[in-house]
Amino acid sequence: MFNYNKIVILDIEGNSVKATNELKITQFSAIIIENGKQREVNYFNRNVNLIPPVVQKITHLSISKLKKEGMTQRRMIDKIYEDIHDADIIYAYGYQFDKKIIRLMFDKYGYQSKLTWVDVQGLVKERLKLNFLKLSRVADYLGFEETHFHDSLIDCHAILYILEYLDATNPMNSNEVLNK
């Protein structure tokens, strides 16, 4: 797709729709492509004690699921750092929320990292000039067949699908992408 040693495509769900100091990551997922090999990570935070009903409805996450399948917040942030700190480039869709919460969590636990982010939503806006930019609508429009958006891992697959579509129809070079 692109000429990088390590690409990370990530998505985060949180227990709020705003990235604030009180926000906790409920789910972190990433597709990591390193030296041509692809792997997935999908982490849940068991230290979340409140998910507002509106967020539960959107993400389909519950406290019981997080308690059952999750790890401590500290362990999750350690693993996220291990997964992304040395990425050549990080792709996210509408990346302001993801970027801010990663920065807040890394600062909280003393991690320093200079990350290079690309907003895939910005690429879609510039390249496709659609009347809509919501991830689920764009992915559906391009032929991605999934209905359970706001599951971070599914959203990562949708982002990868969009990137592959954009690259196939008009290949992106590294200078174009990094200037976003």
Provide DSSP, 114-143: ---EEEHHHHHHHHH--S---HHHHHHHTT
Residue 161 included in any domain: yes
Residue 180: pLDDT band with limits 50, 70, 90:
very low
Residue 174 has pLDDT above 70, yes or no: no
Residue 130 included in any domain: yes
pTM for this structure? Answer: 0.90
Residue 49: pLDDT band with limits 50, 70, 90:
confident
**pLDDT tens string 53-69:** 888 888 888 889 999 99
Residue 56 included in any domain: yes
Residue 134 has pLDDT above 90, yes or no: yes
For the chain, the domain total comes to: 1
Q: Is 126 left (phi over 0), alpha (psi -120 to 50) or beta?
A: alpha
**pLDDT tens string 156-172:** 999 999 999 999 988 77
Residue 1 included in any domain: no
Domain ranges, residue 23: 6-178
Residue 22 included in any domain: yes
pLDDT at site 53: 84
Residue 160 included in any domain: yes
Residue 154 has pLDDT above 90, yes or no: yes
Residue 108 included in any domain: yes
Which domain CATH number covers 32? 3.30.420.10
